[in-house]
Every structure is written in structure tokens, then in C-alpha cells.
């Protein structure tokens, strides 16, 4: 059938089919990811029926990879990375070398040259970032020690992949049995390290100052849309520049863009703003992997495929062994999360085939092993969980560091003021004059410090979340003032508060008539429409 190459068709078919098959997978008690992969196989070039443009899907998937890695970087401070360097640097180097050697062994079996086997092995030694991140995020392990090791391990693999990609072209003649061009090799290496160093310095010096202050500026304009745009521009812009100007992989560039922002108080908001887009595009990543897969290889090359897949699993085993030797507690989870291959393997395979240092027959094997390993990854997690339930649960994960714990109030008969801005600030001041007990909920930047300095009891966080609202003891409160300007969030707060205490008097703030109706319908006793009150105050002046 004819290939659909319009962007809109790729999005409609890619996302639509992923949605349908993801739902089916969920109903069958399988991870939705399996459905996304199957959607890719279905619209790929190797199966009959609808076909969508592979190149376009890959490009869209790349957006997902960028946003995903950006999000990971936001959670990850340079200190986190440094804290695991003693494990991940030697570990990842040794593991890639071990899998490379296994590749040499397999190459010997396939009657390839040693160099071809080595490149084959290296292709099988690098895990897919997207799969690792999904696995860690699904199990809430991103902030745990093991999560940090897995991410650090990936970063080292990623950097080594960049190096391999750089040294392959000058080394190719030697690998093919000719003479090595040492000068070209030294030049390529020097050039790469130079570019990496410039990228690092630029990110550190300019990125750490210019980008956070630009985001602060935008945050203070109060436009959510502009802030969202700013976050997207930073993530995509840095990743693109990293890849095209500095030769750093696009995923690593996005990771660094996130990491330099991780120290900024705005990072949490940046992460939330990029979330919805990130999830949609990450789905396309799995669709694009599925599209590359030719199911025929399962029948035509079953043994070779089994050997390739076994090497990928052996890589996971090597990680487990290395972590064990290095004294890391409960290493199975990190090993399982890294026991699969994806985007980096495809890139390396393409470059290797192009240079003639990897036989063309290796490519379908690598793609086949990739899809099998991604497919079976959730199963491996389940097996690991059955063997050692404590290892896969997140009960060892320390709570995220950045957010202070929410301490429930001991106040009773108190007023709760949500928002300590222009409106809430005045209400709080008045309550203080009255000597009435009260509590403020505020999630703005620097609010906790201001409220502590003013000696006001407060809870820091978004009042629309259950954890924050529950801590305010609404059951025994006297009154609730929802003094925030955003009616959607205010509606959520009113609704939850009404459920928590049906008798609680709730006063809310609105700016449009429709918002008044909305908030009243959700349970507010009195909704004050700011603009109406301003108008009436202005009229009173003219009458005076």
C-alpha cells in the first residue's frame, strides 16, 4: 500500500493506533508499551496494510527523546551524577568491553572478521534511554540510589557511544585490514574532545546563568503559555545545538539542558510544563522502533537472532555482576532496566554498515534483538520482582529531596487562606489583626521563606493536591478562603474541600461570571468576582 508521508497522517495513525493497541495491551494485563510497539509493526514497511513514513515518525520520536531526557535532567543535579561516578564510569566501560568481546565471539560463529564482531558487540552494549526512563519512572525509582546509578550508567554509555561513532570513520580502513590513518584518528579525537569541552564550558557558564534568569523573567510575566514555550525552546534548542554544533548526542544534550536547570527553583514547574507533550512524543518513539522491525527475521534467522538476544541479556548479567562486585546493594533492578537495546544501537549499526565495518546481515539482527528486549523488559522486571520483591518496590527510595515534607497542622477552629498574593496577603493581614488562628497555603517561589520570616503558619505546595489540602485540617477549620486567580485550580480546591467538610464555609475568588457559576456549582458558598467589586468601589467614589 502507498506510504502516508504527511505529518498529520503520521500523527493521526501513529498516535491513534498506539492508543488503541495500548488500551488492548492494558486490558490483556500487559504494559501499554507492548501495544505501542505492535502499532509500529503494523504501520511499518514490513507488514501489509497501512504504512506511514518512517523518517517522519523517527523525527517525531526524537522530539520525545529530547523532552524525556530534558525531564530526567531536571531531576538530576550534577552532584547526583558525581555521587555515582565511582560505580558507573568503570562499570559501564567494563560492561561495554565485555559485551564487545561477546560480539567478537558471535562474529566468529557467524564467520565475520574480528573487527566486525567487535562493532556488532558494541551495538549490543548500549541501552535505550527511553526504555530505562520509562521503567524507572513507572516504578518511582528516579530519585533512588539505584535510579541514579542506572541514569549515570546510561550517561557514560552515551558518552562512549559518541566516542565510538567518532573514531569509527578514521579507524574503518584499519578495521577492514588496511593501514590505520593515525593522524586522522588523533585529529578526530582531538576535535571531538575539543567540541565536548566547549559544549561543557558553554553550558556551565552561560547555561547556568542565562537560561535560569530568562526563565525567571518569563515566569514573572505571569504567562503560562510563554513559560511553556520558553521551556520547550530551551529543551529543543540546547539538544539541537548539542547535536549539530558540538557532535554530542541529541539525548545527552537535552539531559544537560535539564541538569543545568535542576538547581533552579523553577525546575519543578519546567518539568510539569513539558510533561504532556513529552508523554505523547515518547509513545511515538516506541512506534518508530516497531516500524523498523521485520518479523520475517524471526523465521529466517531464528538461531542468529537468539544468539544476538542472548548477548543483550548477557550485557544485563554483566551489569549485575559488576554492581555486585562493586558492593552495590540490590543490583538486579539496575541490571534489568539496562538489559535492552534501542536507539543508540540503531545509530551505531547504521554508521558501521555505512563504513563497511559491520556486515549488512547484522542490522536486522540488531533491530530484532532490540524489539525483543524492549518487549520482554517488563517481563524481566516482573521476574526480578518475584525473585526479590523488596528490590523492585520503591520502599528503599528516599523521598525526593527538593520538596520539604508536608507537616499537618495542629490548628482547629482556624481559617485557611489559599494563596498569599495580593488578595490572600490582605486577608491574612486582617486575620492577624483580629487575632484569629489561621494558616496559609502557598506554592509560589520563595513564599516559604517570606511566610516563615513573617511568622505565619503555612503549608508550601499546590493546594489542589490531596497531600497539601489534607494537611490543612479542613474538617476542623472555621472557614476557607480560596484567594488564587486561576479558576480551574480554584475549582479543584473547592470541590475537594467541600468533600472533606460539607459544612465548611468556603469563599472563593473569580474574575469572570462563568467562573462564579463554576465555583458555586462545585460548592463555594460565596464567590467574589474581583472585577465587579472593583467596579462597585469605583462607582462609590464617583457618587461621593
Residues lying near ligand AMP in the complex (CB under 6 A): 418-424, 441-444, 462-464, 483-486, 489
CB of 140 to ligand AMP, least distance (A): 23
Task: Answer yes or no: are the C-beta atoms of 54 and 45 closer than 8 Å.
Answer: yes
With residue 482 as reference, give the H or E element that holds it. strand 479-482
Task: Answer yes or no: are the C-beta atoms of 322 and 94 closer than 8 Å.
Answer: yes
Q: Which is nearer to ligand AMP, 131 or 497 (CB)?
A: 497
DSSP secondary structure string, 65-116? HHHHHHHHHHT--HHHHHHTHHHHHHHHHHHHHHHHHHHHHHHHHTT--HHH
Q: Which is nearer to ligand AMP, 160 or 464 (CB)?
A: 464
CB of 480 to ligand AMP, least distance (A): 12
Q: Which is nearer to ligand AMP, 173 or 530 (CB)?
A: 530
| Sign of the alpha-carbon torsion through 54, 354, 359, 186 | negative
Task: Answer yes or no: are the C-beta atoms of 32 and 46 closer than 8 Å.
Answer: no
Q: In 3-state terms, what secondary structure has residue 481? A: strand
Written as nine digits, the cell of 157 is 554509555
Q: Which is nearer to ligand AMP, 158 or 442 (CB)?
A: 442
In this structure, how many other beta carbons lie within 10 angstroms of the beta carbon of residue 339?
Answer: 25
Q: Who contacts 233 (Cβ-Cβ below 8 Å, separation ≥6)?
A: none
d(CA 118, CA 420): 62
Q: Which is nearer to ligand AMP, 243 or 418 (CB)?
A: 418
Task: Answer yes or no: are the C-beta atoms of 440 and 457 closer than 8 Å.
Answer: yes
CB of 215 to ligand AMP, least distance (A): 16
CB of 449 to ligand AMP, least distance (A): 13
Task: Answer yes or no: are the C-beta atoms of 493 and 468 closer than 8 Å.
Answer: no
Q: Which is nearer to ligand AMP, 18 or 441 (CB)?
A: 441
CB of 211 to ligand AMP, least distance (A): 22
CB of 395 to ligand AMP, least distance (A): 29
Q: Which is nearer to ligand AMP, 340 or 460 (CB)?
A: 460
Q: Which is nearer to ligand AMP, 331 or 419 (CB)?
A: 419
In this structure, how many other beta carbons lie within 10 angstroms of the beta carbon of residue 526?
Answer: 12
Angle of helix 32-43 versus helix 362-387 axis, rounded to 10: 170
Q: Which is nearer to ligand AMP, 209 or 422 (CB)?
A: 422
Nearest residue to ligand AMP on Cβ basis:
421
Q: In 3-state terms, what secondary structure has residue 336? A: helix
Strands (DSSP E) contained in 242-364 are none
Distance (Å) of CA 93 to CA 154, 156, 227, 315, 430: 11, 8, 39, 12, 63
CB of 409 to ligand AMP, least distance (A): 15
Q: Who contacts 297 (Cβ-Cβ below 8 Å, separation ≥6)?
A: 305, 364, 365, 367, 368
CB of 507 to ligand AMP, least distance (A): 14
CB of 486 to ligand AMP, least distance (A): 6
Distance (Å) of CA 78 to CA 19, 74, 218, 221, 405: 36, 10, 25, 29, 23
Which residues, listed in sequence order, are joined to residue 4 by a DSSP beta bridge? 52
Instruction: Give the ranges where 124-181 is alpha helix by DSSP (H).
Output: 129-138, 145-175
CB of 411 to ligand AMP, least distance (A): 17
Q: Which is nearer to ligand AMP, 267 or 462 (CB)?
A: 462
Amino acid at each position: 500500500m502507498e506510504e502516508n508521508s504527511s505529518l498529520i497522517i503520521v500523527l493521526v495513525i501513529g498516535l491513534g493506533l498506539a492508543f488503541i493497541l495500548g488500551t488492548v495491551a492494558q486490558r490483556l494485563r500487559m504494559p501499554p508499551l507492548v501495544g505501542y510497539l505492535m502499532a509500529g509493526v503494523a504501520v511499518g514497511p514490513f507488514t501489509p496494510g497501512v504504512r506511514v513514513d518512517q523518517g517522519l515518525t523517527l523525527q517525531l520520536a526524537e522530539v520525545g527523546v529530547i523532552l524525556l531526557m530534558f525531564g530526567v535532567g531536571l531531576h538530576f543535579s550534577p552532584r547526583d551524577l558525581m555521587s555515582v561516578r565511582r560505580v558507573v564510569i568503570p562499570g559501564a566501560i567494563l560492561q561495554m568491553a565485555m559485551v564487545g568481546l561477546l560480539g567478537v565471539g558471535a562474529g566468529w560463529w557467524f564467520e565475520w572478521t574480528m573487527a566486525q564482531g567487535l562493532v556488532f558487540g558494541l551495538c549490543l552494549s548500549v541501552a535505550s534511554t527511553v526504555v530505562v526512563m520509562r521503567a524507572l519512572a513507572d516504578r518511582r525509582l528516579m530519585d533512588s540510589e539505584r535510579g541514579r546509578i542506572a541514569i549515570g550508567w546510561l550517561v557514560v554509555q552515551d558518552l562512549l557511544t559518541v566516542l565510538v561513532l567518532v573514531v569509527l570513520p578514521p579507524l574503518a580502513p584499519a578495521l577492514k585490514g588496511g593501514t590505520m590513518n593515525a593522524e586522522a584518528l588523533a585529529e578526530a579525537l582531538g576535535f571531538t574532545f575539543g567540541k565536548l569541552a566547549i559544549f561543557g564550558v558553554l553550558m556551565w557558564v552561560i547555561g547556568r546563568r542565562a537560561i535560569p534568569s530568562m526563565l525567571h523573567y518569563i515566569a514573572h510575566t505571569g504567562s503560562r503559555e510563554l513559560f511553556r514555550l520558553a521551556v520547550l525552546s530551551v529543551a529543543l534548542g540546547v539538544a539541537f545545538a548539542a547535536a549539530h554544533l558540538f557532535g554530542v548526542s541529541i539525548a545527552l544534550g537535552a539531559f544537560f539542558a535539564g541538569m543545568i536547570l535542576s538547581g533552579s527553583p523553577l525546575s519543578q514547574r519546567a518539568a510539569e510544563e513539558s510533561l504532556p507533550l513529552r508523554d505523547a512524543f515518547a509513545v511515538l518513539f516506541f512506534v518508530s522502533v516497531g516500524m523498523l522491525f521485520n518479523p520475517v527475521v524471526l523465521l529466517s534467522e531464528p538461531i542468529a537472532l537468539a544468539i544476538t538476544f542472548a548477548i543483550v541479556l548477557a550485557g544485563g548479567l554483566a551489569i549485575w555482576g559488576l554492581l555486585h562486585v562493586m558492593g552495590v546493594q540490590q543490583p538486579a533492578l539496575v541490571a534489568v532496566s539496562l538489559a535492552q537495546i534501542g536507539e543508540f544501537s540503531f545509530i551505531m549499526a547504521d554508521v558501521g554498515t555505512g563504513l563497511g565495518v559491520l556486515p549488512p546481515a547484522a542490522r536486522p539482527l540488531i533491530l530484532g534483538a532490540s524489539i525483543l528486549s524492549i518487549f520482554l523488559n517488563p517481563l524481566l522486571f516482573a521476574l526480578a520482582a518475584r525473585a526479590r520483591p523488596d528490590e523492585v518496590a520503591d520502599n528503599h527510595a528516599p523521598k525526593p529531596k527538593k520538596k520539604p515534607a508536608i507537616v499537618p497542622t495542629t490548628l482547629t477552629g482556624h481559617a485557611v487562606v489559599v494563596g498569599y498574593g495580593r488578595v490572600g496577603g490582605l486577608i491574612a493581614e486582617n486575620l492577624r489583626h483580629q487575632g484569629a488562628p489561621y494558616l496559609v497555603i502557598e506554592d509560589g517561589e520563595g513564599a516559604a521563606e517570606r511566610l516563615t520570616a513573617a511568622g505565619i503558619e503555612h503549608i508550601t505546595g499546590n493546594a489542589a493536591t490531596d497531600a497539601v489540602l489534607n494537611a490543612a485540617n479542613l474538617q476542623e477549620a472555621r472557614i476557607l478562603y480560596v484567594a488564587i486567580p486561576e479558576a480551574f485550580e480554584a475549582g479543584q480546591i473547592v470541590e475537594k474541600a467541600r468533600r472533606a467538610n460539607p459544612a465548611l464555609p468556603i469563599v472563593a475568588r473569580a474574575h469572570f461570571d462563568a467562573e462564579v457559576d463554576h465555583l458555586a456549582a462545585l460548592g463555594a458558598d460565596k464567590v467574589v468576582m474581583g472585577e465587579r467589586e472593583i467596579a462597585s468601589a469605583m462607582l462609590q467614589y464617583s457618587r461621593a
